[in-house]
Amino acid sequence: MTIINLADETKAAENLSLAADSIKEQIARRIIGQDKVIEELLIVLLAGGHVLLIGVPGLAKTLLVSTISEALELKFSRIQFTPDLMPSDITGTEVLEQDRSTGERFFRFVKGPIFGNIILADEINRTPPKTQAALLQAMQEHEVSTGNQTFKVPEPFFVLATQNPIEQEGTYPLPEAQLDRFMFNVNIDYPKFDEEVEIVKKTTGAFEPKVEPTLSADDIIKLQKLVRRIPVSDRIVEYCVRLTNSTRPGKSKFDFVKRYLRWGAGPRASQYLVLGAKTRAVLHGNLTPSIEDVREVALPVFRHRIITSFNAEAEGVETDDITKWILEKIEE
C-alpha cells in the first residue's frame, strides 16, 4: 500500500508519479492498450471531477472502470440506465419499519447504488431527464436529499457516465448545462490490430489476472488536496483563458470559430484546463504545469462544451478539429 506524505510536497509528487505507474501496471494486467484513456481517467479522479465516456459497445468500458476501482481499493457501483429507471433507484428510498417491542412505526432510508466511490452510470442518455438530474445533483453537491434529511456520499466520489455514439433512437440527450458538469469527455476507440490479438488471447483462456490494490480512499483524498496546492503561473492561467475565449464566436478573432461554432465554452472550461494541467504535471513528477500539460487536456475539456453550427455539421467538422485549430493559432 502506497502512503502519501503531504508534509514534503516534492516527495509527495514523486510518490504520486510512482503510484500512477503502479496503478497503470495493475490495470494493464486486464486492459490491453488504452494508455491515453487510462491517464485521462486518473487525471479526472485525482482532480476530483467526473468523466463522460463515449464508445461503442464491447470496448471494455465496464471492465476498465471496475479494474480501476480494484487497483485503488474503492467501492464500485454500476447503474444500468433504462427508460423506466426512477430517481429512487439511484439515490435510495425510505421504507416503513416497525419496532417489535413498542409497535412504533418509522421510516428508514435505504441507500441506493449512488453511495459508492466509483459510480459507473452505464448509458446515461437512455433514462429520462428526471432520473438523470438525480445523478447529476449528487455529482455537483456530493450529497443526496430525501424528505428533511441529507446524506453525504462517500469520498472520494467519482462518476463515469457512458454513452453509445451509434444508437440514438429512444434516448434522452443530456442538456449542455448538465454536460458541463463533467470535467472530461473521453473517447474510447477500437484497439489496434496487435492489441486486439493480445485481447483475444488473454480473454479466451482459463487464466484470470488478479489486480492488487495500490492506493486507498484516504490516499486518494490526500492526493486530491495535493493537486489543489500545486502552484500555477499567471502565464499558464492566462493561456487557458485565451483558449476558452477563442471558442466563443462573439469574442474570437478566428473566422473558422465564427463559421463553425454556435456557442463557446464557459468559465468552467478554463478552470478544468488549469486543474487538469496541474494534475497531469504531478502525474508526470512535476511540481508545476506547463503549456504542454494544458494542450494535452484541451481536447477532453472542450469536446462537450463547444456547440457546432449547421455549417460544421454540413461540412463534417468536429469539435476536436476546431480545438486543434485553436491550439495551433493561439500563441503560447
> Block means of pLDDT (10 residues each) for the chain, length 332 residues?
53 73 81 85 90 82 83 86 87 80 78 88 85 82 80 89 72 78 89 84 76 82 85 93 92 87 91 94 86 94 91 90 91 72
| Residue-by-residue DSSP string for 206-243 | S--PPPPP---HHHHHHHHHHHHH----HHHHHHHHHH
* DSSP code per residue over 46-109: HHT--EEEE--TTS-HHHHHHHHHHHTT--EEEEE--TT--HHHHHEEEEEEE-TTT--EEEEE
Which residue, 98, 73, 87, is CA-closest to 213?
A: 73
- Please report how the helices 61-71 and 9-27 are oriented relative to each other, as an axis angle in degrees rounded to 10: 130
Closest CA to 138 of 119, 150, 126, 153: 153
Is the alpha carbon torsion for 303, 162, 87, 142 positive or negative? negative
The pLDDT, as a whole number, for residue 122 is: 87
203: closest CA among 213, 195, 212?
195
The dihedrals phi and psi of 47, each to the nearest 5 degrees, come to -85, -10
- Of the candidates 49, 66, 43, 225, the one whose C-alpha atom is nearest the C-alpha of residue 139 is 49
The total of other beta-carbon atoms located within 10 Å of residue 162's CB is 23
Q: Are 153 and 75 in contact (CB under 8 A)?
A: no
CA–CA dist 153, 158 (Å, integer)? 10
State in Å, rounded, how far the first CA of the chain is from the last one.
40
Cis amide linkage into residue 156, ω under 30° from 0: yes
Question: Residue 300, SS3?
Answer: helix
Which pTM was predicted? Answer: 0.86
Kindly report the backbone phi and psi dihedral angles of residue 143, in degrees, each rounded to the nearest multiple of 5, phi listed first: -155, 160
CB of 135 within 8 A of CB of 88? no
Domains of the chain: 1-85+115-229 (3.40.50.300), 231-332 (1.10.8.80)
pLDDT at residue number 169 = 61
The pLDDT value recorded for residue 203 is 77
Q: 179: closest CA among 280, 258, 265?
A: 265
For 109, residues 6+ apart whose C-beta sits below 8 A from its C-beta are 92, 93, 94, 146, 149, 151
Compute, in degrees rounded to 10, the torsion defined by CA atoms 282, 285, 286, 291.
Answer: -70
CA distances from 170 to 57, 123, 167, 173 (A): 17, 12, 8, 10
